Structure 1
C-alpha cells in the first residue's frame, strides 16, 4: 500500500490537467487509468487535430441544472490561459469558424504537452490499472488489480458514458452515488437524431447531402451545417440542437437562412417558366434535396404551370420544416454525456463534494455540458484546474 496526497482517477483531459495543477502545488499525485494510454479521447477529437478550446467560452454556452455553476471555474482558468500554455509549448494552431481553435498538426501535441507538464510536476502516472474498489475510512483507499493506494484527496475524472468503444463507463457516477452524491439522469449529448416513417424515407436517399441551415428546438437556435444520414440527421447544427432536444419535442429547420424561399421560387417561375421545379430549386439547394422536395411537394409539371400557392407553401416549408425525431443514435455516437453528478452537491469554486471532505468530481462526470466546438475541453481544463488548486 502506497500513500499519496491526491489520487486522480482518469487520465483524460480533466484528469491530466487536475493532476498537473496539484503536482505543481507540491502535492504528491497518483494518476490512474484503466486504458493503456493517456488522453485517448483527446487523440480522436477534432478529426485528430483536437479542437482544444473556443474563444467564445462563456457560461451561457454550457448546459446544467444550475446554469451559473460553471461560471467560477471558467473564470479562474480561461480559454486565454490554455492558449498561453499551448503557445508556451510551441504548438501551432488556427481558428476555424465560430471561435473554434484547432492544432495545425496532430492532437498528439496536446497530449504530449499535458504529459510533459505532469512529468515536470512529479505526477506518478500509472496506466492499465483496473480499479476494483474505492472506499473511505481515515483516508480514501483505491484498490486496483495492481495494488492498493491511499490518499487524503480523491478526484473522479473518468468522464461520462459517451463513446463506449473508447472505454467510457459510468464509473465516476457509480462512485459518486456510493458516496451519497445525487445524479442528474445521464443522456447522450451532441448526438445525431434518428427518424422513422415518411421522414426517414425522404432522408435515407439524401444520405451524405449537407447544407447550411438553422436548427431550432424550443427557443434555442443554431446556424451551422446540417447533414442527412441513413438514420436521420447529423452535422454541427443537429448535434448542437440535440443537447436541447427531449423526446416528443419537434425540431424546426430553416434550409435557406437569410433567404426568402417563396420569393426565390416565384422569381424562378417568372424567369424560367419552362424549367422543371427541381431545376429551379437546385439553384439554391443541393441537387438531390431539390429533386426530393420538388417530387414530394409539387406537381410533375414545368414550373410555369405550377400555381403560386404550392410554390409559396414549399417556400414556407423550406423556411420552417417541422420534424419530430424519434430518438438519437445513443452514446455510441454521442460526443458528450448530458447530466451527471448533481452540481448542488459540489462547490462551484473547487468542484469538491460539500458533504464528503476530500472528494472532487470534474470534467464530463459533472452535470455541465458545453456546446460543440471546444467548449467541453475548456470545461475539462477549467474544472481540472479548480480541483487541482484545492485537492
Structure 2
C-alpha cells in the first residue's frame, strides 16, 4: 500500500513502519496530531508478518523488566508499567482477532500475523495517519523543525520518531539509519550486535554438533549466572533452539556456555543405582533410558567406558554424569545479523527519557522499539517493547506538540 502524503506539514514524522513506528503513529494520531509514516520497504510491518511462524508472538503474559537487557537496566520500567499486555489484547478484541496462549505465557494469533498488521493499519486510518512506502530518507536536519530530504520529496515536522529498528534480518531491509541520525544529533550509540541468534563453534565442537543435526532436546543452558530451561536444537551449522537463542543475548566472546542435557535429574545417582542392580547395559543403552538414542550413542562414544555398567568404576559414572549435566561449550561467535531475531545495543537509553522516549538534549526527537538499546527475551517481549515504547512516544507527542 502506498498512500500519497501530500504536502501539508504534519505534526509528527515517524521513520519506520514496523511495530514500534505504527504504534507511535496511531497513538499520536489518536491524540489529535497529524502523523506521517515513512517506510523504506514496499509494505509496513514486514517483521511482524514473518514472526512466530506467521502467527506473531505479539506479547507475553509475564511482562517484567527483568526480561529485558539494556545498559540502563531500569529504563523499560516506566513504559512497561503504562502499556501492559492486556492493553494490546483489548485492541485485538476490538478488531475481533482471535489468539491463544502457548508455553511460558507466549501469546499468538490464531489465524495470521497479517491480522496484526491489518489492525494497526485500521487504527492508523481511523485517526488520519498517512503512510508512504518505498521511500528513502537521505538527509535529516533541524532548525525550528526537523527537515527530511527523501526520494518522495522534502518533508518537515516538529517531532521526529526514529523507528527503523536494528540490523537484524537484513533481507527485510534492516539498516543503521536510526543509529546514524542519533549520532548526528549527539546521542551515543552502544555498538549493535546480533541477539537471539544461533551460536557457532570451533572445528571439533562443530563436528560433534553436526552428527546430531536435526535433534531437539529439552535442556538447561547457562552463561555466567543466567540460565534458561527450554529446548536446544542441533543443526548443521551450530546450536540453536529457544534456550540457545535466549542465552546468546547475554553471551560475550570468550565465555563458555554450559549445557545440562538432563535438567532436574541426577544422572550419577541413576547410573549408580543401575550399577548396584548389576546392569549389563553398555553406555549407550544406559543413557538411552533418559536421552534420545542418537544423543545417547554420541555421548557414550565420547565419554563412557567400553564395558557393561556393572563393571564401571564410580568415578567413571560421575565423569559421564558431569559431561551430561555440565558440558562446557566454547562458541567462536554467532551466525550474525542474517540469522538474528533482534539486535542487542543501539541508541543509548541513558540519553532518552524513560517516560517519553524523547532525547533529553534534542527536544522533539524520539527513539522507539529495537532502535533503542533494549533487547527482550524470546517469547513476545521484543514486540511488547515495540508496543510499549511506541505508545509512550505517541502519548508524549500528543501531549506536547
User: What is the distance in 1 between the residues matched to 2:323 and 2:87?
Assistant: 45
Count the aligned residue pairs.
391
Alignment map for 1:343-362 (pairs within 5 Å): 343-362=349-368
Do structure 1's residue 230 and structure 2's residue 236 form an aligned pair? yes
Q: Counterpart in 1 of 2:69?
A: 63
Find 2:204's aligned residue among 184, 195, 198. Answer: 198
User: What is the distance in 1 between the residues matched to 2:305 and 2:83?
Assistant: 59
- Report the TM-score, using the length of structure 1 for normalisation: 0.98
Contact 1:2–1:148 (Cα < 8 Å) also in 2: no
Q: How far off its partner does 1:301 sit? A: 2.8
Q: Counterpart in 2 of 1:132?
A: 138
Q: Counterpart in 2 of 1:179?
A: 185
Q: How far off its partner does 1:266 sit? A: 2.5
Contact 1:186–1:340 (Cα < 8 Å) also in 2: yes
Do structure 1's residue 122 and structure 2's residue 128 form an aligned pair? yes
Alignment map for 1:21-170 (pairs within 5 Å): 21-170=27-176
Alignment map for 1:266-285 (pairs within 5 Å): 266-271=272-277, 273-285=279-291
Q: How far off its partner does 1:275 sit? A: 2.2
Q: Counterpart in 2 of 1:265?
A: 271
Q: Deviations over 1:203-254 (max 9, x none)?
A: 1110111111111111111111111112221111111111110001111111
Q: How far off its partner does 1:270 sit? A: 4.3
Q: Counterpart in 2 of 1:336?
A: 342
Q: Counterpart in 1 of 2:261?
A: 255
Find 2:226's aligned residue among 220, 242, 248. Answer: 220
User: What is the distance in 2 between the residues matched to 1:144 and 1:159?
Assistant: 19
SS of residue in 2 equivalent to 1:327: strand
Q: Counterpart in 2 of 1:309?
A: 315
SS of residue in 1 equivalent to 2:123: helix
Contact 2:242–2:378 (Cα < 8 Å) also in 1: yes
Do structure 1's residue 365 and structure 2's residue 371 form an aligned pair? yes
Do structure 1's residue 7 and structure 2's residue 13 form an aligned pair? yes
Contact 1:2–1:150 (Cα < 8 Å) also in 2: no
User: What is the distance in 2 between the residues matched to 1:42 and 1:233?
Assistant: 25
Q: How far off its partner does 1:271 sit? A: 4.6
Q: Counterpart in 2 of 1:292?
A: 298
Q: How far off its partner does 1:324 sit? A: 1.3
User: What is the distance in 2 between the residues matched to 1:328 and 1:260?
Assistant: 31
User: Unpaired runs of 5+ in structure 1?
Assistant: none
Contact 1:159–1:363 (Cα < 8 Å) also in 2: yes
Q: Deviations over 1:55-77 (max 9, x none)?
A: 01111111001111010111111
Pick which of 295-304 and 81-90 moved more.
295-304
SS of residue in 1 equivalent to 2:285: helix
Q: Counterpart in 1 of 2:3?
A: none
User: Unpaired runs of 5+ in structure 2?
Assistant: 1-6
Contact 2:202–2:330 (Cα < 8 Å) also in 1: no
User: What is the distance in 2 between the residues matched to 1:334 and 1:266?
Assistant: 42
SS of residue in 2 equivalent to 1:357: coil
